[in-house]
Structure 1
Amino acid sequence: MLLKVVILAGGRGTRILELTKFRPKPLIELAGYPLLWHIMNLYSRHGFNEFILCLGYKQEMIKEYFLEKAYKVKKFSSSSLYCEIARGDLQPWRVYLIDTGEDTETGGRLKRISKYLEKDEYFLLTYGDCLTDANLADEIYYHFKHRKLGTYLSVRPYPGHSYFKDSDDCYLCGGYFVLSTKILKLIEGDKTHLHNDIIEPLIQENKCIPYIHKGFWSSVETIKDKQIIENIFKGI
């Protein structure tokens, strides 16, 4: 099943202002590539090559990054466009770069791109600052086996990470969702927070369930988090 991938890439990244003052968080580089590239590459390795990027803060920089690599571009409006990125012998990336507003909450951003999911029953969603080595195919299989409204990657942060707690049951929602488009009807507007207002209530009702991943996962919340990931990439 070919599913579209929605990436929330519009936040201000206020916890790591040392880096996000001059660039959007998804463009922070690790091992020579932006966070966004690593995320998209993971999905692409699982066969998913159609992306909807929900942009906001410093969105022009993200657009420029993709436009420099695009061989095909189509504008929807003065602030939203579609492009295709060649990848040698691999399937090209089809990327929708959508302006969802600078101050829109995460749920509101998803609501604003809902028209691009009108013909879909399910879609994939994650945040633009989380990396993992999870087998997404296994998570998707798990989702369709249980047939809930949503499935999320349940992760234990790496030791030293800003979210890490030295406890065997310290698991949290790490993004990388598989979701039914029915959840779009639950979003009221721009001020709706995706996790607090939508995902967490669904978890409490057992309508959004965890897929436990015991391997690598990390978000980039601080300079220290970035350094930990870089050391992991280098094998330190």
Structure 2
Amino acid sequence: MKVAILAGGLGSRLAEETEAKPKPMVEIGGRPILWHIMMHYSTYGFKDFSIALGYKAEVIKKYMVDYCSLNSNLTVNLKSGEIETHGGYRPDWMIDLVDTGLKTQTGGRIKRLAPYVGNETFMLTWGDGVSDVNLDDLLAFHRSHGKLATLTAVRPPARFGHLQLEDDQITEFSEKPQIGEGWINGAFFVLEPEIFDYIDGDMTHWEKEPLERLARDGQLMAYKHNSFWQCMDTIREKKLLESLWESGKAPWKIWEDQQNASLTNGAQRLHRNSHDTHAASSRT
């Protein structure tokens, strides 16, 4: 199953960080938040990604292209130009990196991913929020109700898309109310390909007309998530996520630290190989 991730916005409220990089590349614990999100999906076996790029797309492209060399030990032959990688954690991910336009809105970015997603159920989230949502349970919920769209409803302070719920069906969707508290749009969607028909074009905001129409048509359901969820819209929120990571108790880190283990093992193998080569030379 494809996982679509929107990673093309300007991130203007994180200007201190996003002047030189897109928001999904802002780091938590030395890794882009985009990596944290992909690790979450990968842990549940969802490893086929389509990423919608826009602002500073080249930064994300370069990171993905250089990923193996950046996360491995290297032997570089300057004379021949050959590079060998040793060890390192190499996730078995397939990634479409799709330029969806600098000014394209969220709905337009989603629609531009349609050729990559295909005519199948797919997942969708934003490239700036982490959670410990159980993706297997989310998918099972989506398949149980037979509607076109499921979003993950969460309950932090209400400043995102407010939801009116009746028995898990969304009857009203309104974006960013100024007052009140309740369930809000936490992304982590599961969607059927028919949702593309609800998106007119590049200037469509997914959070407005498409979700409003899906709600009116009775095609939008909420998976209620009562555990951890946090977006990263501001420096304060970045610092919060960073402090959680540094504490060793980041709620969204549901995977084993495979990367560090692989790097350590790779270094140990290199040391052993070097030692064996030196010993062989001494014997001769």
Q: TM-score, normalised by structure 1?
A: 0.84
Amino acid in structure 1 at the alignment position of 2:112:
R
Amino acid in structure 2 at the alignment position of 1:55:
L
CA distance in 1, matches of 2:138, 2:59: 32
Deviations 1:109-136 (CA, angstroms, capped at 9, x unpaired): 1111211123x32100000001001101
How far the C-alpha of 1:70 sits from its partner, in A, is: 5.1
Work out which of the two has the higher radius of gyration on C-alpha atoms and give 1 or 2. 2
Runs of 4+ with deviation above 3 angstroms:
87-91
Unaligned runs of 5+ in 1: 72-86
CA contact (8 A) 1:111 1:187 kept: yes
Q: TM-score, normalised by structure 2?
A: 0.70
2:94 alignment partner, SS class: strand
Aligned to 1:109: 109
Amino acid in structure 2 at the alignment position of 1:108:
G
How far the C-alpha of 1:168 sits from its partner, in A, is: 10
CA distance in 2, matches of 1:218, 1:205: 29
**1:162–1:224: structure 2 CA closer, same or farther, 3 Å change rule?**
farther
Of stretches 202-211 and 31-40 in structure 1, the one that deviates more from structure 2 is: 202-211
Amino acid in structure 2 at the alignment position of 1:215:
S
1:188 alignment partner, SS class: coil
1:98 alignment partner, SS class: strand
Deviations 1:198-225 (CA, angstroms, capped at 9, x unpaired): 1233124331111011111011111111
Amino acid in structure 1 at the alignment position of 2:130:
L
Listed as ranges, the matches of 1:30-45 within 5 Å are 30-45=28-43
Count of equivalent residues:
214
CA contact (8 A) 1:162 1:222 kept: no
Aligned to 1:76: none
Amino acid in structure 1 at the alignment position of 2:234:
T
Aligned to 1:203: 215
CA distance in 1, matches of 2:52, 2:192: 18
Q: Which has the higher strand share?
A: 1
Equivalent residue for 2:195, pick from 160, 173, 183: 183
1:54 alignment partner, SS class: strand
Aligned to 1:80: none
Aligned to 1:144: 143
Amino acid in structure 2 at the alignment position of 1:191:
M
Aligned to 1:61: 59
CA distance in 2, matches of 1:162, 1:183: 25
1:194 alignment partner, SS class: coil
